[in-house]
Structure 1
Amino acid sequence: MASRFRHAALVGKYQAHGIRPVLEEIAHFLVRQGMEVSLEKQTAQSTGITGYGAFTPDELGRHCDIAVVVGGDGTMLGVARELARHGTPLVGINQGRLGFITDVSIGEFAKALAPMIAGDYEEERRTMLTGVVWRDEERIFEGFAVNDVVVSRGAASSMVELKVEIGSEFVANFRADGLILASPTGSTAYALSAGGPILHPGIAGFVMVPIAPHELSNRPIVLPDTAEIVIEIVAGRDTSVSFDMHALASLLHGDRIAVRRSRDQVRFLHPRGWSYYATLRRKLRWNAGVA
């Protein structure tokens, strides 16, 4: 069994109605477990919770040895990007609707957290994407993504044309509404709704999924995560790129998005007995017909 955790970062979806009493209940529980508790600064300011330290995500990563994230997968993605470089493990308490990576029910947080704080848990590490947008020889944008990097057309424009190279080798020109490059974590997000496959988190790969391609032969493909993938804007107006929904809009023809596996990984902690396949069954309703 791993060592006991001592200092918890508490992060919440502070926009959610009624989140303050939930966060206070969790904070009080953690204190009763003998832990020091610090809130993410924006969470503390937006909810008005006082009596605890309030720090930026970077400060939380330097001072806390575990992060408890209350919200949905979107809240978790934002925190995970910030804390991955510190190696801080994260526990997700689900207040959202789906919750692939925030898998502890809000009604069962005490039962789940108590043994985890003591060092009894399942741990998994998830791959991240890192990318750079180049215009001529100038780096104009950098981003990290736990889920995906998405290049897409403008809302009122026609499809885009994208040239894809992998490891300096030309692969294809895609004419489509866009292109998704997803990690195994992101394979159950936008990529899945666009027709891509589910990648088990243990697979060292990415999935590349064209969005509504002009050619029906342009199918999703699973790629090794060892090579850099470069997407060049060939044609199209108002094209944008997003890293987990953090977007850079108005890309120009000739702009290149270079994406590779990040050297940082996200550490997710789960209650003992957690199963990836059970999560899929529950979230995707694969239980139909099972007694």
Structure 2
Amino acid sequence: MKPIFRRIAVIGKYREPVAGAAPASAQQIIEGIVQFIIRQGCEPTLEAETAASMGLDGYHTLDVDGIGGHCDLCLVVGGDGTMLGVGRRLAGYGTPLVGINQGRLGFITDIPLQGYEAALTAILHGEYEEDVRPLMQARVMRGDTCVFEALALNDVVVNRGSTSGMVELRVEVDGVFVSNQRADGLIVASPTGSTAYALSAGGPMLHPSIPGWVLVPIAPHMLSNRPIVLPDASEIAIEIAGGRDISANFDMQSLASLQHGDRVVVRRSAHRVCFLHPRGWSYFSTLRKKLRWNEGGS
């Protein structure tokens, strides 16, 4: 039986080269995965910066946009943070992603490095669970001008600086006024991001199949300001009404120094990210492992 994916990209977690070389272990991991792909009868492509930073020569390379236009599948080697960045950049191409985790089990990079061959062999031959996640599209509007625009897979966060006081925010949903909030900030999270910063701020976990956002205040001045779940067809607008050193964060992308009157507008993107998991993968199994449910029980 031949693999159903022929052209497979590999993107690794890397740092900018220090003294001209990456750690040998990282190089060996990526090269081992590339050689595995070749043994499966598939065509490997290394993301260009991954290859350059790890000193891997002699392989076909493309930038991320080239991978989106050329490859059938992308293997992301790293953690959830690496996957977030790759997912945003490849979402417009519809390229499915598989995560190989170099450390602890991730929420979306769930194949452990040890023994990845068996899981990948099955996926390459069509034995997998498909997991489609929505993306958020966010804009920062200054009057009628968009001064920043980004996609986010996890969340959009408006918050205060490390030394300033509370921020004052005016929140609208679909043009309807919801509330004025004084807090350390406000999180708009997708179901994927509901288990990240939003969870630590007291928000609920949303199953990935729920078409919703969760709006979570960070340390609100009024305890009656509670998290709320909204349909992801809604447009959420957060206006900066007061405070200093206010910033907006879109996953790991940041815009500092928001001004009074700026509006952070969040809506559902037209693009989605498709993750492939080993057959038998379960969202609840991931929660049990990551959140250590049932530990200490009988």
TM value normalised by structure 2: 0.95
Residues 103-114 of structure 1 mapped to structure 2, 5 A cutoff: 103-114=110-121
Q: Report the Cα distance in structure 1 between the residues aligned to 2:260 and 2:68, rounded to whole angstroms.
A: 39
Query: Does residue 231 of the first structure (1) align with residue 252 of the second (2)?
Result: no
CA contact (8 A) 2:3 2:40 kept: no
Once the two structures are superposed, the pairs formed by residues 63-212 of structure 1 within 5 Å of their partners are 63-212=70-219
Counterpart of 2:286 in structure 1 is: 279
CA deviation map 1:182-236 (0-9, x unaligned): 0000000111111111000000000111111111111111111111100000001
Corresponding residue SS for 1:251: coil
Per-residue deviation, 1:290: 4.6
Structure 1, unmatched stretches of 5+, are none
Separation in 1, partners of 2:170, 2:103: 37
Instruction: Show CA shifts across 1:47-96 (max 9, x none).
Output: 11112122111110000000000000000000000111100000000113
Number of aligned residue pairs: 291
The residue that corresponds to 2:43 in the other structure is 36
Task: Find 2:26's aligned residue among 2, 19, 22.
Answer: 19
After superposing on structure 2, the runs of 4+ consecutive aligned residues of structure 1 that deviate more than 6 Å are none
Question: 1:25 is matched by which residue type in structure 2?
Answer: G
Identity %: 60
CA distance in 2 between partners of 1:31 and 1:24 (Å): 11
**CA RMSD between the two structures:** 1.5
Which stretch of structure 1 is more off in the superposition, 3-12 or 182-191? 3-12
Q: Shift of the alpha carbon at 1:40?
A: 1.2
2:9 alignment partner AA:
A
Q: In structure 2, what is the Cα distance between the partners aligned to 1:80 and 1:106?
A: 20
Confirm whether residue 6 of structure 1 aligns to residue 13 of structure 2.
Answer: no
Q: Could you tell me whether the CA contact under 8 Å between 1:73 and 1:96 is conserved in 2?
A: no
- Please give the secondary structure, in 1, of the residue aligned with 2:30: helix
TM-score by length of 1: 0.97
Instruction: Report the AA paired with residue 37 of structure 1.
Output: P
Q: Matches of 1:50 and 1:78 in 2, distance apart?
A: 24
Q: Which amino acid aligns with 2:13?
A: K
**Quick one: distance in 1 between partners of 2:286 and 2:164?**
38
CA contact (8 A) 2:3 2:126 kept: yes
The secondary structure found in structure 1 opposite 2:256 is strand
Say yes or no: does 1:269 pair with 2:263. Answer: no
| CA–CA separation in structure 1 for the residues paired with 2:115 and 2:220 | 43
Please say if residues 171 and 178 of structure 2, whose CA atoms lie closer than 8 Å, have aligned partners that are also in contact.
yes
Tell whether the 8 Å contact from 1:239 to 1:250 is kept in structure 2 after alignment.
Answer: yes
Question: Cα gap change, 1:50/1:159 in structure 2, threshold over 3 Å: closer, same or farther?
Answer: same
2:61 is matched by which residue type in structure 1? Answer: A
Local SS of the residue matching 2:221: coil
Which whole-Å CA distance do the structure 1 matches of 2:122 and 2:10 have between them?
17
CA distance in 2: counterparts of 1:283 and 1:77, whole angstroms: 17
